[in-house]
């Protein structure tokens, strides 16, 4: 047997049917981004590894796809390099596939700072790659749809991004839950419990609250090296419940000794207050257990899940105060979110939310009866196309059954038959595929009927 072809692990082909639905999602997202005044950019699939490494935490570095240098990639290595994998990989790979769109964007901003008009609002819809083990809702190649504002500290940007989230999911028909938190609150909590150096440990543990529950989180905190004293102080924070009006004052009290913590609460309250006055469809909630793994977030953090389908987050983001600083442009704050198109697709498919009429593009197919007939059809086909009706002529004069089957499978609603008698009468026979009826009419009549929708 010939070698069975396949695609690399975690990557997928998309059939025409899938592409029509995917494009529908991309179009809704893109249209919304444009409506809010964001401009498109694109960056290369690959970046220098120096651009990518160290931006996503230890786990992120591990999940980067590295590209082997072309030619003799061992040229620069020495025997002792082979003892240390990370040293070796630096010598044999200088490029990597992008892991997200935010870091390449930061690089783009730094490189093009003189040409950019700040605050810069950009959107970017491109695939990213992660060397993760694939599983449900997780792919090694997937699309992110990013919107970011860079060069503005205003919390109005946070509000705007949440409005975009609401807009997109409202139009797609996905019931969404927007969770909001702030890294400064988490930093404040770490300070108040007396473990300012253990922010990562604390956030990673409490991030699992929903999944593993209160008791397990406490256990995990202890495993991660938090003192019993600190854990006791943390407990009342983790169990905070009730309405926002009640939570905020309580939090203020708890974080009274932490300037940064109080600032985080202020920011979150401001955003929430704005949102409250707007007509928002999505449920938005303050979730103190929301942490998000990416290292570069410094302020607001946002994560969106689908209410009716468990698949992880379908959109996420936050504010980063100094991402461009790493590339030599300090004090430029940005905030952005990223829609996960592939997961949104999975949610919409599972909940059957795609519109029905995304099917075929061809409206009319001409049957091919032979060389003479096909030649006669060509000008008529062009006439239909010029009238804006997407039309095709079957390329081969094969059996009619075959041609009809083709039209049927592609959901082509009208089939035109022109044989010798039609050529003589200067008319055409059109078959309406959903009813099976057929009638003999002229070409102009057909165009008028289709464009006027008086035929069905």
Partner RNA sequence: GUGCGAGUAGCUCAGUUGGUUAGAGCACUGGAUUGUGGUUCCAGGGGUCGUGGGUUCAAGUCCCAUUUCGCACCCCA
**Site residues (vs RNA, CB under 7 A):** 1, 6, 8-10, 57, 59-60, 63, 100, 130, 132-140, 142, 144, 204, 207-208, 211-212, 291-294, 303, 312-316, 338, 340, 342-343, 369, 399-402, 404-405, 407-409, 417, 419-422, 429, 431, 433-436, 438
> Residue 61 is encoded by which pair of tokens?
């570095």
**Least distance to RNA from the beta carbon of 422, Å?**
6
Quick check: helix, strand or coil at residue 135? strand
Sequence-distant (≥ 6) Cβ neighbours of residue 346 within 8 angstroms: 137, 309, 311
The label of the residue with tokens 């102009």 reads 444
Residue 405, class by beta-carbon neighbours within 10 Å (0-12 exposed, 13-18 middle, 19+ buried)? exposed
The label of the residue with tokens 């490029």 reads 95
In the complex with RNA, the residue whose CB is nearer, 208 or 233, is 208
In the complex with RNA, the residue whose CB is nearer, 284 or 369, is 369
Contact 363, 391 (CB under 8 A): yes
**Least distance to RNA from the beta carbon of 126, Å?**
13
**46-48/93-97 β-pairing:** antiparallel
Distance CA 267, CA 383 (A): 61
Report phi then psi at 83, rounded to 5. Answer: -85, -20
Of 191, 192, 200, nearest to 59 by C-alpha is: 200
In the complex with RNA, the residue whose CB is nearer, 39 or 212, is 212
In the complex with RNA, the residue whose CB is nearer, 207 or 392, is 207
**Least distance to RNA from the beta carbon of 20, Å?**
19
In the complex with RNA, the residue whose CB is nearer, 140 or 184, is 140
**Least distance to RNA from the beta carbon of 336, Å?**
11
**Least distance to RNA from the beta carbon of 243, Å?**
27
Which residues is 193 bridged to in the sheet? none
Distance CA 180, CA 278 (A): 16
In the complex with RNA, the residue whose CB is nearer, 138 or 274, is 138
The label of the residue with tokens 């909590």 reads 189
**Least distance to RNA from the beta carbon of 301, Å?**
10
Rounded to 5 degrees, what angle do the CA atoms 362, 367, 372 make?
Answer: 130
**Least distance to RNA from the beta carbon of 322, Å?**
18
**313-320/300-306 β-pairing:** antiparallel
In the complex with RNA, the residue whose CB is nearer, 254 or 373, is 373
């Amino acid at each position: 047997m010939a070698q069975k072809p396949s695609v690399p692990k975690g990557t997928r082909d998309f059939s025409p049917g899938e592409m029509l639905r995917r494009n529908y999602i991309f179009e809704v997202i893109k249209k919304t981004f444009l409506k809010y005044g964001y401009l498109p950019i694109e960056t290369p699939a690959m970046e220098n590894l120096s651009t990518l490494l160290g931006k996503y935490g230890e786990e992120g570095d591990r999940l980067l796809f590295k590209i082997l240098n072309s030619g003799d990639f061992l040229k620069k290595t020495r025997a002792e390099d082979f003892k240390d994998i990370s040293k070796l990989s630096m010598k044999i790979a200088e490029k990597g596939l992008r892991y997200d769109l935010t870091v390449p964007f930061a690089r783009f901003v730094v490189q093009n700072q003189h040409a950019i008009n700040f605050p810069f609002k950009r959107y970017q819809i491109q695939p990213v790659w992660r060397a993760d083990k694939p599983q449900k809702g997780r792919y090694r190649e997937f699309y992110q749809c990013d919107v970011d504002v860079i060069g503005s500290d205003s919390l109005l940007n946070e509000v705007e991004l949440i409005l975009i989230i609401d807009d997109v999911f409202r139009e797609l028909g996905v019931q969404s839950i927007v969770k909001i938190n702030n890294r400064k609150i988490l930093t404040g909590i770490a300070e108040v419990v007396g473990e300012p150096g253990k922010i990562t440990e604390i956030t990673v543990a409490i991030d699992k609250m929903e999944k593993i529950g209160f008791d397990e989180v406490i256990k995990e905190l202890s495993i991660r090296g938090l003192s019993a004293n600190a854990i006791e102080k943390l407990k009342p924070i983790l169990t905070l419940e009730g309405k926002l009006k009640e939570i905020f004052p309580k939090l203020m009290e708890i974080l009274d000794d932490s300037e940064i913590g109080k600032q985080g609460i202020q920011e979150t309250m401001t955003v929430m207050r704005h949102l409250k006055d707007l007509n928002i469809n999505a449920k938005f909630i303050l979730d103190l257990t929301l942490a998000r793994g990416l290292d570069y977030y410094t302020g607001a953090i946002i994560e969106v899940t689908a209410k009716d389908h468990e698949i992880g987050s379908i959109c996420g983001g936050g504010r980063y105060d100094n991402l461009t600083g790493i590339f030599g442009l300090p004090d430029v704050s940005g905030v952005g979110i990223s829609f996960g198109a592939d997961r949104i697709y999975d949610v919409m498919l599972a909940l059957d939310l795609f519109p029905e009429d995304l099917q075929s593009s061809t409206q009319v197919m001409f049957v091919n009866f032979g060389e003479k007939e096909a030649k006669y059809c060509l000008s008529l086909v062009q006439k239909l196309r010029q009238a804006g009706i997407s039309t095709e002529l079957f390329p081969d004069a094969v059996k009619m059954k075959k041609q009809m089957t083709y039209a049927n499978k592609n959901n082509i609603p009208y089939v035109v038959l022109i044989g010798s008698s039609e050529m003589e009468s200067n008319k055409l026979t059109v078959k309406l595929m959903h009813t099976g009826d057929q009638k003999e009419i002229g070409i102009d009549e057909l165009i008028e009927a289709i464009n006027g929708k008086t035929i069905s």
